[in-house]
């Protein structure tokens, strides 16, 4: 009896890739020998798991070809050696052909934003996602979602029930999150931080105006640190907005930050800011809470539905509305920061891995 896990989308730098990496690394202690994982050639190996390399997964077109057409053939090849009875897809790309008889499929549906907020997606990507969701609707695998909000949308759009699983703390290993909860809280430096993708729905350009409001009415010694990881055109737009506002000396762009760089920045930030217009989840929130950093995020249902009152909120379209919650975040005492860590304890990759195996 063997579980084949399609993890080819792990090639993504953040977001989905972070989720897949977190789940894979949590599997060895809870999965019996014989589990086979299909990953792209640049994906790191995971101790304790048997890995299969998929050379096509180096590029997006190759990943789609494998996920949508070739995966069933791979399942059959493996079945020649051992019995494959389950296939877990760590993204929403179910094979176009009907899954093999006797093989159960499950898929982790990260969000349905291409259907609900199509304005944020290029035409080609919208088409790919719509076809993938249409196949999900037809194939009816077991589906997992990360929040009750997403789980409520999926049955309406895909006509199928969904099980909710809780993610882990983003790029933090479970042991790192556990250790941070037991350690003394670090001193905060006078900077606000954004970590995440740089794209239109993330609304990062608004932070230039937010910083202006904060420094003019709250504290003029605060700076903004932005981890630059996104589409080059958006990065150019961000640089132009910074130059136009004349605040180059107060905004630091950090390109190609490593995982350790990101954790260090989060650990000492006065607050993490997440000004998204639309979100699938918001993993940096969990990373920040685990490390004792306050969070101010957009008041949108995708975030409020799971983070509740553990974090502070502001309107994503009104920069002046961010001043008061940022002030509250900066003044957060030990009690509030520890409350965030307590809330964060329910989010661990070991729990998520155990949940997605249960189908």
Q: Residue 61 pLDDT more than 60?
A: yes
Tell me the backbone φ, ψ of residue 282, rounded to 5 degrees.
115, 55
Same domain, 256 and 158: no
pLDDT at 180: 94
- Domain assignment present for 148: yes
Rounded to a whole number, what is the largest CA-CA distance in the chain? Answer: 68
**Percent of the chain at pLDDT exceeding 90:** 55
Identify whether the C-beta of residue 147 lies closer than 8 Å to the C-beta of residue 165: no
Report the C-alpha gap between 70 and 278 in whole angstroms: 33
Same domain, 141 and 275: no
Identify whether the C-beta of residue 301 lies closer than 8 Å to the C-beta of residue 281: no
pLDDT at 43: 54
Listed residues 165, 182, 215: the one ending a domain: 165
Same domain, 223 and 327: yes
- Taking only the tens place, the pLDDT of each residue in 90-112 is 998 999 987 777 889 999 999 88
- Domain assignment present for 351: no
Element (H, E) at 162: strand 162-164
Write out the two tokens for 278: 């639309």
- Domain assignment present for 349: no
Same domain, 212 and 277: yes
Q: What is the arithmetic mean of pLDDT over 1-14? A: 79
Q: What is the arithmetic mean of pLDDT over 231-241? A: 88
- Domain assignment present for 352: no
Residue 297's CATH number: 3.40.50.2000
Read off the pLDDT band of 42 (50, 70, 90): low
Tell me the backbone φ, ψ of residue 94, rounded to 5 degrees.
-80, 145
Same domain, 297 and 315: yes
* Cα of 158 vs its chain's centroid, Å: 22
- Domain assignment present for 82: yes
- Taking only the tens place, the pLDDT of each residue in 170-189 is 999 999 999 999 999 999 99
Same domain, 290 and 179: yes
Listed residues 115, 136, 165: the one ending a domain: 165
Total count of domains within the chain: 2
Same domain, 153 and 214: no
- Domain assignment present for 77: yes
* Cα of 297 vs its chain's centroid, Å: 15
Same domain, 160 and 182: no
Q: What is the arithmetic mean of pLDDT over 142-156? A: 88
The string of DSSP letters for 284-307 reads HHHHHHHTT--EEEE--HHHHHHH
pLDDT at 40: 67
Expressed as residue numbers, the domain containing 262 is 174-344
- Domain assignment present for 350: no
Q: What is the arithmetic mean of pLDDT over 206-226? A: 93
Whole-model pTM over 0.85: yes
Same domain, 143 and 197: no
Look-up: residue for tokens 């800011």? Answer: 273
């Amino acid at each position: 009896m063997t579980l084949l896990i399609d993890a080819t989308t792990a090639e993504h730098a953040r977001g989905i890739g972070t989720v897949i990496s977190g789940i894979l690394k949590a599997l060895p202690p809870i999965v019996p020998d014989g589990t086979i994982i299909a990953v792209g050639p640049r994906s790191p190996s995971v101790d304790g798991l048997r890995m299969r390399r998929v050379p096509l997964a180096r590029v997006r077109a190759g990943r789609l070809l494998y996920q949508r057409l070739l995966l069933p053939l791979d399942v059959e090849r493996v079945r020649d050696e051992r019995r494959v009875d389950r296939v877990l897809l760590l993204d929403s790309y179910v094979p176009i052909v009907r899954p093999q008889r006797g093989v159960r499929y499950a898929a982790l549906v990260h969000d349905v934003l291409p259907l609900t907020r199509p304005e944020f997606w290029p035409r080609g990507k919208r088409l790919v996602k719509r076809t993938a969701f249409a196949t999900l609707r037809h194939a009816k695998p077991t589906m997992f979602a990360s929040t009750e909000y997403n789980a409520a949308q999926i049955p309406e759009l895909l006509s199928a029930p969904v099980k909710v699983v809780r993610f882990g703390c983003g790029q933090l290993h479970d042991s790192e999150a556990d250790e941070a909860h037991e350690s003394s809280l670090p001193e905060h430096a006078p900077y606000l931080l954004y970590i995440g993708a740089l794209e239109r729905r993330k609304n990062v350009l608004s932070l230039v105006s937010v910083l202006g409001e904060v420094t003019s009415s709250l504290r003029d010694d605060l700076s903004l640190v932005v981890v630059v990881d996104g589409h080059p055109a958006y990065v150019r737009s961000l640089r132009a907005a910074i130059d136009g506002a004349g605040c180059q000396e107060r905004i630091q762009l950090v390109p190609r930050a490593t995982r350790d760089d990101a954790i260090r920045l989060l650990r000492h930030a006065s607050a993490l800011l997440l000004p998204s217009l639309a979100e699938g989840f918001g993993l940096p929130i969990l990373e920040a809470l685990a490390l004792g950093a306050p969070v101010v995020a957009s008041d949108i249902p995708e975030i409020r539905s799971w983070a509740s009152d553990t974090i502070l909120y502001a309107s994503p379209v009104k920069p002046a509305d961010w001043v008061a919650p940022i002030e509250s975040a900066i003044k957060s005492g030990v009690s509030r920061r520890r409350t965030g860590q307590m809330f964060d304890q329910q989010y661990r990759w070991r729990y998520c891995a155990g949940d997605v195996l249960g189908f």
